[in-house]
């Protein structure tokens, strides 16, 4: 993992941008509302403190038709923050897929790094799409020797279903320090289409008597400023036939802590 | 020959115009008729040739060969031409006492041995015996039993009696028998007067005086010369009133243009015989208008059983006995077309017998009742009045002739038989009744009706419970059409009509116009009302007389009322074809003697009640199981020998497709897949009123194990206003409640085992689910099985799903098959088995459907998939109420596996939850363990 890099943002923008909002991207009939937040809002100007970061999106069409299949998710985090799984136990895909949430936590509970929710329409051939919601539990995982986030999805309606998304991590460029990417396998895309997803990474753990966060960040406010407005993340959803819709989530922070 | 004979009128005729024919000498010279002459004469001694008139006299002359020994004559018969009538009823009869008492005459020493009253004299008999020739009065004697008439004289105290008999076919014969050998008769002249009482009482000098037969009557006959002593009146001291004077003789009414032939046969005491004939001039004036028959129904009610009366008054104006009248010929052929709507009543067949030709032949004028046609064959009466001028009628019956084995060769034929035993008179005739195949309109044809002249002819066909006919179904005026021809002109037909009026219902007012109502009744049920009982099942459909005919039916039986087909054969198609081919005259009898279908396929029997009124004619039949028909896997064949009483109408085959609802296994018969019920056979509307079906093969039908209220429903087709026109058929639904009892007495303890083919986490295991009930338990109505949460639906393995449309067509793609299932049932010899599909549903998840098939029967067992308490649940609801011994469903594993283990099953609890609901609403809960193969724990290896 690359070291996190602080992001400097325009002070003038800080007054103009709301503290929390959803950014919308639209392409043709498809609309995605991205959302995200960071907690706590007060962060050190220098260094980094454990944070909880939430990124989500809701997918819809203007005319109410089923949205196209989601093929990939990419979340680029500002270089002011970073993901550091060191010291955390890790888990493998096979340990939790398939399983209930309880089963996954029983198998990989120490590697849990966050949780969230999902909404999807389950697709079964010759059947009407069935709306399903469930819980996402994110685990620090290892896939092919590289650290990943295993996002375990579990729902009981219409029948017990279990999916696990593998979010790979790589270093970003420029503003973006870390990029999380999940490619939804075709078979997954055929059995459901996602209409909403939200994931919060918030794991704190102790290493050597020191509390650390799975995600840590600082507030990139210039000297003399008590806060800053910065690009928290850029979320991109790739759809079959439509292409990619992206949005940059602009949020602010205060210097403190 | 004595000269006396040479001057008789007939003798003169024979010489003058050659009308009399002298018979050929007998081949045996020892006994021969030398001459024979006979003729009917006018009062002026010329031949009377006008048909149907009354001649002044009939003269018969006979000479025997004197050289060959006339002393040998023993018997003599004179045959009159056919249709020549002697009417003994025209005057009084001489009693046997008077005939035996010698005559005492004031004019001479009478040699006559009789003292008959003048009112009984019908002529003069002149006999030649040895050298003596003498004339004697001939009298109308009291006829002995079995004799139509008797004409007697007593020359020299020797009674000579000519017994008059009606001989076949219809000629009168004057038969003189047992002439004493000592009498020595050599020749005779017999003069019969046409009007015996002719002669008034005016004095001889009166210019209006008509002596008639007075000069030769009684004591006034000069026996010695054949002349007269004076005038003697017919009635004691005075002449008969003119109104009482009747004719004793009537000429035939036909044929014209053909010489009349008289014949004589003589027999000797030595056993030899001689014959001769004489020919008289042909008749003329045969063509006379026919009387019009009248036909009347015996009811004025619609759709009611009825008889029929056929009345014909031919010579009621005095044609036979009135001296001034002319007899009209009898009807030879009558064709009676009854009006449309009037049909034959099959009830007639109930208990009806038949008369064979041999039995008819045994009928004689004096045969005892039952010696010929049996009383059971009687369907009507026949009366002939006025024959031979007699007061007593010929009475008799209409008998049903043996179908097909009768002179007309028809199904429906009758014999008319009327007789007067005392007079030895009998007439026989026959007719055929042929229904129009298109309209059912009966057409009765009678050929060779009695030629014997009568005044009134009455034929009635039976009414009452087993009436012959059924009146038209609606009110109105109906016309019967008649075509008649006479013996005088058989080829010339006269047309006439006779009207019937139907003006009320039976009972109640007239039925509304148009189609009759149609509200058929349905009665159905099991003999035993107990749940799960092995019991016969019956079904009965009825209609009233005032309703439409039943032409087809459908029936839906209660769910769970099933048949055990195991061990039951199917009637082969070829055998059914044989039954259908038995449509001929004796087909029914052949079917009864040798049923077409094998006994192994017999599942019950049927009874069909035909007719109108309180008594129906019943035709039994058999019910067989048969193979596929009209797309249905099974069928039943009702094979009914249509033997309604004595009528063998062949075999009625009604085959009905049995459809099995694939969801409920409910059996039904739909009219589209079934043969129509014949309601017209041989043109006879069957008036099928009562259909009874008994499915009574032992251990065949079984009651449901559900005590829910159910129904046997039926949709029947009525024949509409016109039974012969299917276009106006109508439908009526009937329903009969069906509910069995004692369901609570049935046990319910089901057993379910579940075995998974793999235990590893993430594996796609196969699943084998086996349901095993106890025998005699209530059948399973539904079951839901919830797998533990650690078993997931492998959604990514769902590659193919069969749509409902594809499933209905039996065209599910191979990719939609995920396993197979097998059900063993005691109801079938073979297992029901087939693939397990994922089939699209109206819920979120496709249904898991086992498509079972066996013996052509298709059953689908759908399971709805959902979740319960985080576990995947399969719900099988509304299962057929059918007994199974074992049901196994196997779901594939591996790449086709629908399940995926969410944990290592060897390390977690793995109990499923099962909830069973029986057909009798009993419930049971089970927690079957998912059996998997696990490696033994290390500590337990030892």
**DSSP symbol at B329:** P
The more confident residue out of B408 and B671 is B408
Q: What is the pLDDT of residue B66?
A: 61
Kind and range of the H or E run holding A227: strand A227-239
CA-nearest residue to A189 within chain B is B796
The more confident residue out of B679 and A36 is A36
Strand partners, B734: B714
Which residues have CB under 8 Å from A227's CB, separation 6+?
A: A14, A219, A221, A252, A253, A254, A255
The more confident residue out of B647 and B847 is B847
Tens of pLDDT along B767-818? 999 999 998 899 999 999 999 999 999 988 988 999 999 999 999 999 999 9
**Which range among B325-329, B471-475, B591-595 has the greatest average pLDDT?**
B591-595
Here the tokens at position B844 are: 């979120």
| Cβ of residue A206 closer than 8 Å to a chain B Cβ | no
The separation between the first and the last C-alpha atoms of chain B, rounded to the nearest angstrom, is 151
Q: Which of B248, B240, B273 is nearest to B192 (CA)?
A: B248
| Cβ of residue A186 closer than 8 Å to a chain B Cβ | no
| CA dihedral sign of residues B832, B835, B839, B844 | positive
Q: In Å, how far is A30's CA from the nearest CA of chain B?
A: 25
Residues B118/B238, Cβ–Cβ less than 8 Å: no
- The arithmetic mean of pLDDT across residues B527-540, rounded, is 95
Q: Which residues of B touch A191 (CB under 8 A)?
A: 795-796, 798
Q: Which of B161, B158, B111, B113 is nearest to B140 (CA)?
A: B161
- Which among A98, A125, A191 is the nearest to B792, CB-wise? A98
| Cβ of residue B800 closer than 8 Å to a chain A Cβ | yes
- Which among B799, B867, B870 is the nearest to A158, CB-wise? B867
Q: For residue B162, which phi and psi values (nearest 5 degrees)?
A: -90, 105
Give me the helices (H) in B537-682, please: 573-581, 587-593
Q: In Å, how far is A56's CA from the nearest CA of chain B?
A: 25
* CA trace torsion B296, B298, B304, B307 (10° rounding): -90
Q: What is the pLDDT of residue A70?
A: 86
- Which among A100, A127, A157 is the nearest to B902, CB-wise? A100
Q: Which residues of B touch A99 (CB under 8 A)?
A: 761, 790, 902-903
Radius of gyration of chain A (CA): 18
- The arithmetic mean of pLDDT across residues B85-106, rounded, is 94
Which residues have CB under 8 Å from B868's CB, separation 6+?
A: B784, B786, B913
Q: For all residues of chain B together, what is the average pLDDT? A: 88
Q: Which residues of B touch A158 (CB under 8 A)?
A: 843-845, 865-867
Q: What is the pLDDT of residue B724?
A: 67
Q: In Å, how far is B803's CA from the nearest CA of chain A?
A: 7
Kind and range of the H or E run holding A112: strand A112-122
CA-nearest residue to B841 within chain A is A127
Q: In Å, how far is B763's CA from the nearest CA of chain A?
A: 10
Interface test with A, best of B844, B867, B898, B903 (most A CBs within 10 A): B844
Question: Is B902 in contact with A125 (Cβ distance < 8 A)?
Answer: no
Where does the pLDDT of residue B13 fall: very low under 50, low under 70, confident under 90, or very high at 90 and above? very low
User: Beta strand A49-50 with A215-217: parallel, antiparallel or unpaired?
Assistant: antiparallel
CA-nearest residue to A130 within chain B is B844
Q: Which residues of A touch B902 (CB under 8 A)?
A: 98-100, 103, 160, 162
| Cβ of residue B476 closer than 8 Å to a chain A Cβ | no
Q: Which of B519, B571, B564, B570 is nearest to B537 (CA)?
A: B564
Q: In Å, how far is B787's CA from the nearest CA of chain A?
A: 10
Q: For residue A148, which phi and psi values (nearest 5 degrees)?
A: -140, 170
Q: What is the pLDDT of residue B32?
A: 83
Q: What is the pLDDT of residue A19?
A: 39
Preceding omega of B336 cis (within 30 degrees of 0): no
SS3 category, B600:
helix
Tens of pLDDT along B564-609? 999 999 999 999 999 999 977 788 989 999 999 999 999 999 999 9
Tens of pLDDT along B684-743? 778 888 999 999 999 999 999 999 999 999 888 888 777 667 777 888 998 999 999 999
Question: Is B799 in contact with A125 (Cβ distance < 8 A)?
Answer: yes
CA distance B36 to B19: 11
Q: Which residues of A touch B793 (CB under 8 A)?
A: 159-161
Residues A231/A250, Cβ–Cβ less than 8 Å: yes
Q: What is the pLDDT of residue B6?
A: 33
Q: What is the pLDDT of residue B340?
A: 83
The more confident residue out of B272 and B9 is B272
CA-nearest residue to A155 within chain B is B870
Interfacial B residues in 865-904 facing A (CB < 8 Å): 865-867, 870-872, 900-903
User: Beta strand A42-43 with A243-255: parallel, antiparallel or unpaired?
Assistant: parallel
Where does the pLDDT of residue B4 fall: very low under 50, low under 70, confident under 90, or very high at 90 and above? very low
| Cβ of residue B793 closer than 8 Å to a chain A Cβ | yes
Tens of pLDDT along B189-210? 999 999 999 998 888 888 888 8
Where does the pLDDT of residue B636 fall: very low under 50, low under 70, confident under 90, or very high at 90 and above? very high
CA-nearest residue to A126 within chain B is B840
Q: In Å, how far is A100's CA from the nearest CA of chain B?
A: 7
SS (H, E, C) B80-140: CCCCCEECHHHCCCECHHHHHCCCCCCCCCCCECCCCCHHHEEEEEEEEECCEEEEEEEEE
- The arithmetic mean of pLDDT across residues B457-475, rounded, is 87
Q: Which residues of B touch A122 (CB under 8 A)?
A: 795, 844
Q: Which of B541, B512, B500 is nearest to B340 (CA)?
A: B500
| Rounded (5°) CA angle B756-B759-B764 | 70
| Cβ of residue B18 closer than 8 Å to a chain A Cβ | no
**DSSP symbol at A190:** H
Is the pLDDT at B15 greater than 60? The verdict is: no
CA distance B327 to B315: 6
Here the tokens at position B759 are: 């235990």
Tens of pLDDT along B285-322? 887 777 778 888 888 888 888 998 988 887 655 678 88
Here the tokens at position A205 are: 């753990």
Preceding omega of B255 cis (within 30 degrees of 0): yes
Q: In Å, how far is B937's CA from the nearest CA of chain A?
A: 21
Q: What is the pLDDT of residue A18?
A: 36
Q: Which residues of A touch B796 (CB under 8 A)?
A: 187-188, 190-191
Where does the pLDDT of residue B12 fall: very low under 50, low under 70, confident under 90, or very high at 90 and above? very low
Q: Which of B764, B774, B819 is nearest to B795 (CA)?
A: B764
| Cβ of residue B450 closer than 8 Å to a chain A Cβ | no
CA distance B559 to B557: 6
CA distance B68 to B89: 40
ipTM, interface predicted TM-score of the complex: 0.84
| Cβ of residue A160 closer than 8 Å to a chain B Cβ | yes
CA atoms within 13 Å, Cβ hemisphere of A89: 9
Where does the pLDDT of residue B244 fall: very low under 50, low under 70, confident under 90, or very high at 90 and above? confident
Where does the pLDDT of residue B10 fall: very low under 50, low under 70, confident under 90, or very high at 90 and above? very low
Question: Is B844 in contact with A191 (Cβ distance < 8 A)?
Answer: no
Q: What is the pLDDT of residue A126?
A: 81
Proportion of chain B above pLDDT 70, given as a percent: 95
Where does the pLDDT of residue B375 fall: very low under 50, low under 70, confident under 90, or very high at 90 and above? very high
Q: For residue A110, which phi and psi values (nearest 5 degrees)?
A: -65, -20
SS3 category, B4:
helix
SS (H, E, C) B631-653: CECEEEEEEEEEEECCEEEEEEE
Question: Is B844 in contact with A158 (Cβ distance < 8 A)?
Answer: yes
Q: Which residues of A touch B791 (CB under 8 A)?
A: 160
Q: Is A144 exposed, middle or buried (0-12, 13-18, 19+ CB in 10 A)?
A: exposed
Q: What is the pLDDT of residue B26?
A: 42
CA distance A203 to B811: 54
Question: Is B795 in contact with A161 (Cβ distance < 8 A)?
Answer: yes
Q: In Å, how far is A192's CA from the nearest CA of chain B?
A: 10
| Cβ of residue B792 closer than 8 Å to a chain A Cβ | yes
Give me the helices (H) in B162-254, please: none
| Cβ of residue B805 closer than 8 Å to a chain A Cβ | no
Q: In Å, how far is B897's CA from the nearest CA of chain A?
A: 14
Q: What is the pLDDT of residue B548?
A: 86
Q: In Å, how far is B926's CA from the nearest CA of chain A?
A: 21
Residues A159/B871, Cβ–Cβ less than 8 Å: no
The separation between the first and the last C-alpha atoms of chain A, rounded to the nearest angstrom, is 25
| Cβ of residue B235 closer than 8 Å to a chain A Cβ | no
Q: Which residues of B touch A130 (CB under 8 A)?
A: 844-845
CA atoms within 13 Å, Cβ hemisphere of A149: 32
Q: For residue B885, which phi and psi values (nearest 5 degrees)?
A: -90, -35
SS3 category, B222:
coil
- Spans of chain A, pLDDT less than 50: 1-20
Is the pLDDT at B68 greater than 80? The verdict is: no
Q: How many other C-beta atoms are found inside a 10 Å radius of the C-beta of residue B446? A: 21
Question: Is A162 in contact with B762 (Cβ distance < 8 A)?
Answer: no
CA distances from B426 to A109, B88, B532, B774 (A): 121, 16, 68, 80
SS (H, E, C) B404-465: CCCCCCCCCEEEEEEEEHHHCEEEEEEEEEEECCCCCCEEEEEECCCCCCCCEEEEEECCCC
- The arithmetic mean of pLDDT across residues B896-904, rounded, is 94
Tens of pLDDT along A22-45? 789 999 899 999 999 999 989 998
- Which among B790, B800, B846 is the nearest to A127, CB-wise? B846
Where does the pLDDT of residue B41 fall: very low under 50, low under 70, confident under 90, or very high at 90 and above? very high
Here the tokens at position B274 are: 């001689």
Buried b / exposed e over B132-145, threshold 16 CB at 10 Å, is ebbbbbbbbbbbee
Residues in chain A: 257
CA distance A123 to A240: 16
- The arithmetic mean of pLDDT across residues B917-934, rounded, is 95
- Which among B791, B795, B870 is the nearest to A124, CB-wise? B795
Question: Is A191 in contact with B762 (Cβ distance < 8 A)?
Answer: no
Q: Which residues of B touch A98 (CB under 8 A)?
A: 762, 792, 900-902
Q: What is the pLDDT of residue B318?
A: 64
- The arithmetic mean of pLDDT across residues B355-374, rounded, is 90
CA-nearest residue to B871 within chain A is A160
| Cβ of residue B840 closer than 8 Å to a chain A Cβ | yes
């Amino acid at each position: 993992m690359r070291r996190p890099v602080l992001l400097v943002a325009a002070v003038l923008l800080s007054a103009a941008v709301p503290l929390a909002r959803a950014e919308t991207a639209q392409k043709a009939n498809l609309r995605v509302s991205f959302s995200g937040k960071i907690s706590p809002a007060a962060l050190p100007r220098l260094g980094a403190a454990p944070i909880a970061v939430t990124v989500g999106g809701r997918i819809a069409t203007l005319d109410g038709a089923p949205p196209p299949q989601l093929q990939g998710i990419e979340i680029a985090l500002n270089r002011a923050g970073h993901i550091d799984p060191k010291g955390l136990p890790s888990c493998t895909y096979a340990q939790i897929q398939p399983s209930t949430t309880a089963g996954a936590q029983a198998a990989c509970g120490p590697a849990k790094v966050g949780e969230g929710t999902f909404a999807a329409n389950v697709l079964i051939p010759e059947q009407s799409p069935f709306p399903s919601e469930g819980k996402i539990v994110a685990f620090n995982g290892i896939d092919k020797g590289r650290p990943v986030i295993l996002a375990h999805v579990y729902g009981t309606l219409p029948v017990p279903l279990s999916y696990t998304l593998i979010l790979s991590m790589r270093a970003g460029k420029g503003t973006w320090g870390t990029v999380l990417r999940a490619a939804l396998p075709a078979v997954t895309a055929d059995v459901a289409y996602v209409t909403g997803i939200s994931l919060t990474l918030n794991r704190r753990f102790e290493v050597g008597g020191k509390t650390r966060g799975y995600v840590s960040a600082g507030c990139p406010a210039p000297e003399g400023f008590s806060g800053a407005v910065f690009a928290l993340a850029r979320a991109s959803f790739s759809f079959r036939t439509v292409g990619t819709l992206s949005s940059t989530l602009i949020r602010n922070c205060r210097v403190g802590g | 020959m004595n000269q006396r004979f040479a001057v008789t009128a007939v003798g003169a005729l024979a010489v003058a115009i050659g009308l009399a024919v002298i018979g050929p000498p007998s081949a045996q010279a020892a006994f021969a008729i030398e001459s024979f002459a006979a003729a009917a004469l006018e009062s002026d001694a010329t031949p009377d040739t006008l048909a149907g008139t009354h001649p002044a006299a009939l003269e018969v002359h006979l000479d025997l060969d004197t050289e060959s020994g006339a002393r040998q004559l023993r018997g003599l018969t004179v045959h009159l031409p056919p249709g020549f009538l002697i009417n003994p009823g025209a005057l009084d009869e001489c009693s046997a006492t008077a005939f035996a008492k010698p005559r005492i005459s004031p004019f001479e020493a009478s040699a006559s041995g009789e003292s008959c009253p003048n009112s009984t004299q019908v002529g003069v008999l002149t006999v030649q015996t040895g050298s003596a020739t003498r004339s004697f009065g001939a009298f109308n004697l009291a006829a002995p039993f079995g004799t139509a008439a008797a004409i007697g004289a007593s020359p020299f105290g020797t009674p000579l009696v000519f017994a008059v008999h009606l001989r076949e076919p219809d000629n009168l014969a004057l038969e003189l028998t047992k002439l004493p050998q000592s009498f020595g008769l050599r020749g005779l002249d017999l003069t019969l007067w046409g009007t015996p009482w002719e002669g008034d009482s005016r004095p001889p000098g009166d210019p209006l005086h008509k002596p008639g037969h007075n000069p030769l009557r009684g004591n006034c006959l000069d026996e010695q010369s054949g002349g007269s002593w004076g005038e003697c009146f017919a009635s004691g001291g005075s002449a008969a009133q003119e109104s009482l004077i009747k004719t004793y003789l009537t000429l035939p009414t036909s044929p014209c243009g053909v010489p009349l032939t008289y014949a004589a046969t003589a027999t000797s005491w030595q056993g030899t015989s001689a014959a001769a004939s004489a020919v008289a001039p042909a008749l003329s004036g045969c063509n006379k208008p026919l009387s019009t028959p009248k036909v009347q129904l015996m009811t004025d009610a619609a759709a009611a059983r009825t008889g029929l009366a056929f009345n014909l008054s031919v010579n009621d104006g005095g044609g036979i006995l009135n001296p001034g009248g002319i007899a009209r010929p009898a009807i030879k052929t009558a064709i009676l077309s009854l009006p449309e709507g009037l049909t034959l009543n099959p009830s007639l067949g109930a208990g009806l017998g038949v008369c064979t030709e041999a039995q008819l032949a045994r009928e004689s004028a004096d045969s005892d009742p039952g010696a010929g046609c049996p009383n059971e064959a009687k369907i009507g009466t026949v009366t002939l009045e006025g024959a031979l001028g007699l007061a007593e009628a010929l009475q008799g019956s209409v008998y049903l002739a043996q179908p097909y084995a009768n002179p007309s060769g028809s199904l429906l034929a009758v014999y008319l038989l009327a007789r007067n035993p005392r007079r030895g008179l009998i007439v026989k005739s026959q007719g055929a009744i042929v229904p129009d195949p298109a309209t059912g309109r009966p057409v009765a044809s009678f050929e060779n009706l009695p030629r014997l002249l009568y005044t009134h002819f009455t034929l009635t066909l039976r009414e009452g419970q087993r009436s012959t006919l059924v009146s038209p179904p609606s009110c109105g005026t109906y016309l019967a059409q008649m075509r008649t021809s006479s013996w005088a002109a058989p080829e010339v037909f006269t047309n006439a009509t006779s009207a019937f009026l139907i003006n009320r219902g039976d009972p109640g007012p007239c039925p509304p116009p148009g189609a009759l109502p149609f509200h058929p009744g349905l009665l159905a049920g099991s003999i035993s009302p107990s749940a799960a009982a092995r019991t016969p099942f019956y079904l009965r459909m009825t209609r009233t007389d005032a309703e439409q005919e039943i032409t087809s039916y459908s029936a839906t039986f209660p769910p769970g009322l099933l048949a055990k087909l195991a061990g039951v054969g199917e009637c082969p198609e070829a055998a059914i074809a044989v039954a259908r081919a038995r449509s001929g005259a004796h087909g029914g009898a052949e079917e009864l003697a040798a049923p077409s279908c094998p006994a192994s396929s017999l599942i019950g029997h049927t009874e069909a009640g035909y007719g109108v009124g309180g008594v129906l004619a019943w035709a039994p039949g058999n019910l067989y199981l048969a193979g596929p028909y009209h797309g249905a896997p099974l069928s039943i064949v009702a094979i009914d020998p249509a033997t309604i009483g004595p009528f063998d109408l062949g075999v009625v085959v009604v085959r009905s497709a049995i459809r099995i609802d694939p969801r409920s296994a409910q059996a039904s018969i739909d009219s589209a897949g079934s043969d129509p019920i014949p309601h017209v056979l041989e043109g006879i509307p069957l008036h099928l009123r009562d259909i009874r079906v008994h499915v009574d093969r032992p251990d065949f039908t079984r009651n449901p194990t559900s005590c829910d209220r159910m129904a046997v429903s039926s949709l029947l087709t009525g024949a509409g206003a016109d039974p012969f026109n299917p276009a106006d058929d109508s439908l009526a639904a009937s329903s009969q409640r069906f509910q069995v009892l004692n369901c609570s007495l049935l046990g319910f303890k089901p057993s379910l085992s579940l075995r998974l083919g793999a235990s590893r986490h993430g594996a796609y295991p196969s699943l084998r689910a086996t349901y095993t009930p106890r025998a005699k338990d209530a059948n399973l109505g539904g079951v839901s099985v919830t797998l533990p949460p650690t078993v997931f639906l492998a959604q990514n393995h769902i590659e193919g799903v069969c749509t409902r449309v594809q499933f209905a067509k039996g065209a599910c793609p191979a990719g939609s098959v995920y396993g197979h299932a097998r059900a063993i049932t005691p109801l079938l010899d073979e297992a029901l088995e087939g693939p397990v599909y994922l089939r699209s549903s109206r819920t979120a998840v496709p249904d898991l459907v086992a498509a079972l098939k066996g013996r052509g029967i298709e059953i689908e067992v759908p399971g709805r998939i959902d979740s319960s308490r985080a576990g995947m649940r399969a719900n099988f609801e509304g299962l057929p109420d059918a007994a199974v011994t074992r049901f196994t469903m196997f779901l594939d594993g591996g790449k086709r596996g629908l399940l995926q283990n969410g944990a290592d099953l060897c390390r977690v609890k793995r109990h499923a939850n099962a909830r069973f609901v029986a057909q009798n609403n009993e419930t049971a809960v089970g927690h079957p363990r998912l059996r998997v193969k696990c490696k033994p724990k290390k500590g337990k290896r030892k």
